[in-house]
Amino acid sequence: MSERTGRRRGAAEQMKGKAKEVAGKVTRDERLRGEGTADQAKGKAKEAVDAAKEKVTGAKDAMKAKGRRKR
């Protein structure tokens, strides 16, 4: 899975969570509202993990390129 796909999944998770949270507020269902909040947090975490992976991959590629130039 590419980092972009992971970020999209994180964003989708956040949207799903927001919809649940709003539905919970409208229907006064605290369980649904809580699930929505949890889903949003999970989506943000997925995006953060994928952003970190992207940075590590970029740094790794930069180190490889730097090593090739020294030879």
Q: pTM surpassing 0.95? A: no
pLDDT above 70 for 70: no
Q: What average pLDDT is seen over the chain?
A: 88
Q: What is the mean pLDDT of residues 62-70?
A: 76
Q: What is the pLDDT of residue 68?
A: 72
Number of H-type helices and E-type strands within the chain? 2, 0
C-alpha distance from residue 40 to each of 19, 47, 60, 61 (Å): 10, 11, 30, 32
pLDDT tens for 21-41 read 999 999 999 999 999 999 999
For residue 64, the one-letter residue type is K
